[in-house]
Amino acid sequence: MKAQFETYVQLAKCCVLREVAKQAFAGELHKNILDISKINIPGREPTMRCCVYKEQAIFAERAKLALGGDDNNPNVIEVIDIACDECPVGGYEITSMCRGCIAHRCKDVCKPGAIITDNKKRTYIDKSKCINCGLCEKACPYNAIHNFKRPCEVACKVNAISMKDTYEAHIDNEKCIACGACVYQCPFGAIMDKSYIVDVIDLILESERKADGKMYAIVAPSIASQFTYVKLGQVVSGIKALGFNHVVEVAAGADLVAAAEAKELAEKGLLANSCCPAFAGYVKIQFPELTHYISHSLSPMAVIAKRIKEKDSDAKVVFIGPCTAKKVEWKQDNVRPYVDCVITFEELFALLESKDINLTSLPEDELNDATYFGRMFAVSGGLVGAVGESLRAQGFNDFEFKPVICNGIEECRKALIKASKNVLEENFIEGMACTGGCIGGAGCLRRSPKNRLEVEKFANEVK
């Protein structure tokens, strides 16, 4: 099991989800309470914390998130306070590079008087006085002063994470775009995304009772880069073995979105994509004046789900992909009528494990709903290729297509600043919050440079 993940944090998360799924399938979840005594993490030490009691308390909190988390918190990303106590306090520190010089430029620029030198010429920062202005770091000629940030703070490119007075991480829901970067980078697993895996199991069990054949799994094209130890067709068979009757490519929705966005771009003259919910959320939060430039098209997930519901209003549609922000998008008023639930690739793996489904022993099923361009939505630059192709296909030959590919939220910010000041030379913004595109999503089993090659291979296999 560990071989399918990058870290033991992911493995621990999966083991909790697996036990949730196992008890839910067996009808043993009582009032959404998980029996954590049954959780087993293969290959771990007796405890990963200071004591077994603390570890049990943390697993109890993980179980709550695996069962849907805090209903009073609208964010899908939550902090497990009890697990967030091992990182350094952070802030500016004077390192061993300090030479104890007599110029003391650092002390001269420190207005609160937080820098102190003792009688042994050792200099340190009084944290009770420091205001983290950073002037001392700039003044030091030896680069001996460094601003130490927690991994979650470094990962969060929208500055939504700070520290409480008690030093646990705190997420500002007004700034958070639910990209999950902090979830992926936290080395203690103290930040997690809520799971709706029980909701999916309820849908499956209800469909099985009715024997109505209404369960649809819509899978993101980045799935081609995840279960690399088996054939993709075996993953499709595994999804059907869980209780889904149909498996459909979200990439088919991507083809429709590319066509719609090409037309809208030609009409407006400036457009930003709508397929990445974290990017769209970032625009709305940080650049509200540019919101009207976001494409009016629904995302590929919502578009293909809508098509399915139009053909069969009783269908139950579950999105499976790499994205934690999709869990926010799913609950939006214009998406909820079409998508019944959202899970990540991590959660899909846990579901398969909970039913002891061995993918390597399954036959290959077919997945053939989309074009090359639709499947390439999974990688940075893929949307630009699809929109460009669609402009040509729809006859917009006189329209000058000038895209900018924004790979990660920092590049998105640069393009959006230019657009807000009317100095952006390009006319189409491809914004992807995750570096590399969807293949870098926080819900992936693995994030590897090879992921792009796997998706390109998948795209080239289009029939």
Domain boundaries, the chain: 2-85+151-193, 91-148, 197-460
- Each residue's pLDDT tens digit in the chain (463 positions)? 556 788 888 988 998 999 999 999 998 887 667 766 677 666 555 556 667 778 788 888 998 999 999 999 999 999 999 999 878 777 899 998 998 888 889 999 999 999 998 888 888 899 889 988 999 999 999 999 998 889 999 999 999 999 887 889 999 999 999 999 999 999 999 999 999 999 999 999 999 999 999 999 999 999 999 998 999 999 999 999 999 999 999 999 999 999 999 999 999 999 999 999 999 999 999 999 999 999 999 999 999 999 999 999 999 999 999 999 999 999 999 999 999 999 999 999 999 999 999 999 999 999 989 999 999 999 999 999 999 999 999 999 899 999 999 999 999 999 999 999 999 999 999 999 999 999 999 999 988 889 999 999 999 998 7
> Is the Cβ–Cβ distance between 379 and 253 less than 8 Å?
no
Q: Which CATH number fits domain 91-148: 3.30.70.20, 3.30.390.50, 1.20.1260.10, 3.40.50.970?
A: 3.30.70.20
Q: Residue 24 phi/psi, 5° resolution?
A: -70, -45
Separation CA 171–CA 79 (nearest Å): 8
- Please state, as a whole number, how many other Cβ atoms lie within 10 Å of the Cβ of residue 52: 11
Would you state the pLDDT for residue 402?
97
Separation CA 463–CA 458 (nearest Å): 11
Whether domain 2-85+151-193 has CATH 3.30.70.20: the reply is yes
Would you state the pLDDT for residue 1?
58
For 214-234, b/e burial (b = at least 16 CB within 10 A) is bbbbbbbbbbbbbbeebbbeb
Partners of residue 147 on adjacent β-strands? 92
> Is the Cβ–Cβ distance between 3 and 178 less than 8 Å?
no
Give CB contacts under 8 A, 24+ apart, made by 118-121.
Answer: none
Would you state the pLDDT for residue 45?
58
- Please state, as a whole number, how many other Cβ atoms lie within 10 Å of the Cβ of residue 186: 23
Nearest to 28 by CA among 43, 14, 41, 38: 38
Separation CA 145–CA 211 (nearest Å): 66
Q: Which two tokens stand for residue 277?
A: 């919910």
Q: Are strands 123-125 and 115-117 parallel, antiparallel or unpaired?
A: antiparallel
Would you state the pLDDT for residue 175?
97
Would you state the pLDDT for residue 47?
58
Would you state the pLDDT for residue 132?
87
Q: Which two tokens stand for residue 143?
A: 């680069």
